[in-house]
Amino acid sequence: MAHPIIAEFPRRIVNYARWSRARISTRGRLSADASTVTLPFNLKPIATAYVYNAYSLGILTAHEPPHRFHAACLQLYFPKAKLTNSPTAKFECFPPLGVWQYVQLGHLGATVWNSRTPESLTAQQLVGRLLAALAQKRYLYVFCDEFFLPGSLPYLRYNHRHERLIYGYDAPSDSFLMAGYRRTGEYGSTFVPAALTASAILSADGRKRGSYNDSDTVVELAAIMPQMPEPEPTTFAHRCLAYLSGADSEAAAIRQLVKPASENYSKNLEGRDWSDGGFGIKAYPLLRRYFEEAGERGHELDVRLTRVLWEHKLLVREIAGDLDRRYGLGLSAVVGAECEALVSAARKLHHLTFAAAHARTPQAIDVPAVLKLLEALEAGDRSVFQGIVRSAERFRGGKR
């Protein structure tokens, strides 16, 4: 009998034969005696604009206090060349701290294998390997054809490969628990039948040669969790000053934060050219130019651009609040209201961008409103970061 989710398929099926194959693939169990397992995972990390940030932070913050990792995501970096290449903008939390960066830092262990070469696995063999990894407390970072994934936008409509993270299995329903983006564009989790999971990973449809998302790689991730130092006010104040000056000294800051096993990561940072871009406060002129040039094509905007800006303000609020609780800096009185105003303005900017990008008919974004919000965000950043620096200096001088 077909899985009940098939009853939810969209009315407009692009290819009946492919839909029929998806329906057939839900028949029968692929795992005979597997047990239910759910690995520790934080489904609501602050950073989700890039899913590989969400996956790494979801694993790590489920084992260690979140502030240790949030403090590493203070800086912003926007390359000029990518921002002027509308409609897709490039942006990063700097230093970049996704799945592979945390592997390089020694916080995640990775075992890599391939689902299709040298010989393609059968669906049953693949499911067996996935279950074996979960039984060993290993998360699974996989690339899937979302045509087969219920709840995703491409489901039963078109082929599109994207990353997913498997962190659990439900034996009664023979389904894997996956984290990723839902049909609505929100980050969340869903159960996917084991047969559809196998079809999604093994699917060769819609592949484009050389595309990152077309990888056949399956990565087993284990949380190693070396000791991380607690963020402290003086070091954080130096990072705030780097943000205000638009400097790239975050590379040095991250090396101090994660001295063990950081040699490969340090080499990775030092080997990249960061000169053609804007760090910290210097990102705002680039953002203004981007929206001035792309505003008339609002429906083509990359909404992750404003999502990462919003998440950055959430991170600043989180870090400031944590430092205040730990060291009694009095930050809630100094910058508390301004942090809330920053979060509110960034959220409003993201909603403006999202509405224009996802309108039923193409529409331009309200550029004057966007520029006004960016102006408020830049001024708010200056005030908040300067307030943090002053409070840290008073702490260092014993004037709390």
In the chain the domains, ranked by start, together with CATH numbers, are 4-44+108-223 (3.90.70), 76-98+231-396 (no CATH)
Please state, for a pLDDT cut of 90, what percent of the chain lies above it: 26
Structure tokens at 24: 């057939």
pLDDT at 1: 42
| Residue 229: partners with Cβ closer than 8 Å, 6 or more residues away | 68, 257
Whether the CB-CB separation of 90 and 78 falls below 8 Å is answered with: yes
Average pLDDT for 247-266: 54
pLDDT at 246: 81
Q: pTM for this one?
A: 0.80
Residue 126 in this model has a pLDDT that exceeds 60: yes
Average pLDDT for 319-333: 83
Which is it for the CA torsion 44, 50, 51, 54, positive or negative? negative
Task: Give the separation between CA 87 and CA 268, rounded to whole angstroms.
Answer: 28
pLDDT band at 185 (very low <50, low <70, confident <90, very high): confident
Average pLDDT for 381-388: 91
Residue 21 in this model has a pLDDT that exceeds 60: no
pLDDT digits (tens, 9 = 90+) for 24-38: 444 557 666 788 999
pLDDT at 179: 96
* Residue 92 CA: distances (Å) to CA of 154, 159, 305, 350, 382: 26, 27, 9, 16, 20
pLDDT at 280: 83
Task: Give the separation between CA 25 and CA 192, rounded to whole angstroms.
Answer: 12
Task: Give the separation between CA 220 and CA 113, rounded to whole angstroms.
Answer: 8
pLDDT at 272: 55
Whether the CB-CB separation of 314 and 45 falls below 8 Å is answered with: no
Task: Give the separation between CA 166 and CA 177, rounded to whole angstroms.
Answer: 6
Residue 184 in this model has a pLDDT that exceeds 50: yes
Of the listed ranges 90-104, 191-205, 212-226, 265-279, the one predicted with least confidence? 265-279
Q: Comparing 39 with 260, which gets the higher pLDDT?
A: 39
Q: Which of 59-68, 157-166, 170-179 has the highest mean pLDDT?
A: 170-179
Task: Give the separation between CA 77 and CA 340, rounded to whole angstroms.
Answer: 23
| Residue 125: partners with Cβ closer than 8 Å, 6 or more residues away | none
Determine the 3-state secondary structure of 137 from DSSP. coil
Which residue in the block uniquely carries the two structure tokens 């979801």?
A: 58
Residue 23 in this model has a pLDDT that exceeds 50: no
| Residue 95: partners with Cβ closer than 8 Å, 6 or more residues away | 72, 75, 101, 250, 251, 254, 265, 269
pLDDT at 175: 95
pLDDT band at 320 (very low <50, low <70, confident <90, very high): confident
Residue 153 in this model has a pLDDT that exceeds 70: yes
Residue 6 in this model has a pLDDT that exceeds 50: no
Task: Give the separation between CA 156 and CA 179, rounded to whole angstroms.
Answer: 19
Whether the CB-CB separation of 376 and 345 falls below 8 Å is answered with: yes
